Amino acid sequence: MKNYQIIFSPTGGTEKVANAITQNWLQVGTIDLSVPDTNYTDISFESDSLVLIAMPSFGGVAPQLALDRLSMIKGNGALCVIAVVYGNRAYEDTLVQMEDYAQNAGFQVIAAISAVAEHSIIHEYAAGRPNLDDCKNLAKFGDQILEKVSSNDFSRPSIPGNRPYKKAGTGMIPKAGSACTSCGQCALKCPACAISTDKLKVSDKSKCISCMRCVSICPAHARKVSSLMTSIAAAAIKKACFVEKANELFL
């Protein structure tokens, strides 16, 4: 059996979670859904593979861009684990949405995980997560999944969420200030190709998915979202984020 992870991790939190889950899996290959130039229709898995699909939750649903790229991949009946990563508020319908897209792509979902990582915009929420304890916890989840596979138990887990899914909200659009050095890293690394090399300081509102990669990778820390809007958003979800959420495994 070959092991893989398919990840969409604009700011790194989802990648940390995925690596923790697969820590004890052998020779894990990685497919990065954030690379626009990849021909995802050429990616096809062996039927005896075990594949982790990990994505962040944006407002209670998965990024449509990542789902669309996943839908191009051929699962061919490979066993699949879906993992949602969220900033300690709620993941709502993200897991069932991922489950549907994974199954439509030909994967057989046998487990699901919800994991907490530092909020990509309001960093005070779930700050520093996944931490060491989280990573140990997630590695145990990965071990339990391997045990399920080794016992030839390919049953479908009961996964929380609603169908139809909640409607995706409108995100905040980052832009660059005077500190911008025009290095072009934001345009080069944007998963949605929302930043033009001709207009580096702004993002195309019709393409930007508010993933915050450009903010996180800017070497000059020049790209930001509105501080006023961030403060309003922080206040709106403060109650929901007050208690630290635990990671969950659905087998």
Render pLDDT for 212-250 as a digit per residue (tens, 0 to 9).
999 999 999 999 999 998 999 999 999 999 899 999 999
Q: Are residues 108 and 73 in the same domain?
A: yes
Taking a C-beta distance cutoff of 8 angstroms, is the pair 80, 53 a contact?
A: yes
64 within a domain of the structure (yes/no): yes
Instruction: Reply yes or no on whether the pLDDT at 31 is more than 80.
Output: yes
Q: Are residues 217 and 118 in the same domain?
A: no
How distant, in Å, are the alpha carbons of 90, 189, 191, 201, 247 from that of 184?
34, 9, 14, 10, 36
Q: Are residues 125 and 213 in the same domain?
A: no
In this structure, what CATH number is given to the domain that contains residue 208? 3.30.70.20
In this structure, what CATH number is given to the domain that contains residue 150? 3.40.50.360
Q: Are residues 203 and 106 in the same domain?
A: no
241 within a domain of the structure (yes/no): no
6 confidence band (pLDDT: 50, 70, 90): very high
Taking a C-beta distance cutoff of 8 angstroms, is the pair 171, 192 a contact?
A: no
Q: Residue 112: phi, psi to the nearest 5?
A: -145, 150
Q: Are residues 109 and 208 in the same domain?
A: no
Q: Are residues 203 and 184 in the same domain?
A: yes
Q: What is the average pLDDT value for the chain, to the nearest integer?
A: 96
232 within a domain of the structure (yes/no): no
pLDDT in the model for residue 197: 92
pLDDT in the model for residue 246: 97
141 within a domain of the structure (yes/no): yes
24 within a domain of the structure (yes/no): yes
Instruction: Reply yes or no on whether the pLDDT at 170 is more than 80.
Output: no
Q: Are residues 158 and 195 in the same domain?
A: no
> What digits encode the pLDDT tens for the residues 54-104?
999 999 999 999 999 999 999 999 999 999 999 999 999 999 999 999 999
pLDDT in the model for residue 16: 98
Q: Count the domains in the chain.
A: 2
169 within a domain of the structure (yes/no): no
Residue 7's closest CA among 163, 147, 117, 166? 117
Q: Mean of the pLDDT values across residues 165-169?
A: 89
Q: Are residues 70 and 147 in the same domain?
A: yes
Bridge partners, residue 18, by sequence: none
Q: Are residues 154 and 184 in the same domain?
A: no
170 within a domain of the structure (yes/no): no
Neighbours of 137 (CB within 10 A): 18
Domain span holding position 126 = 3-164+246-250
Instruction: Reply yes or no on whether the pLDDT at 12 is more than 90.
Output: yes
Q: Are residues 26 and 120 in the same domain?
A: yes
pLDDT in the model for residue 171: 85
Q: Are residues 104 and 191 in the same domain?
A: no
Q: Are residues 16 and 88 in the same domain?
A: yes
H helices present in the chain, as ranges? 13-21, 64-71, 94-104, 132-150, 185-189, 213-217, 227-241
pTM, to two decimals: 0.96
> What digits encode the pLDDT tens for the residues 109-157?
999 999 999 999 999 999 999 999 999 999 999 999 999 999 999 999 9
237 within a domain of the structure (yes/no): no
4 confidence band (pLDDT: 50, 70, 90): very high
Look at residue 240 and give its three-state secondary structure.
helix
Q: Mean of the pLDDT values across residues 158-162?
A: 97
Instruction: Reply yes or no on whether the pLDDT at 169 is more than 90.
Output: no
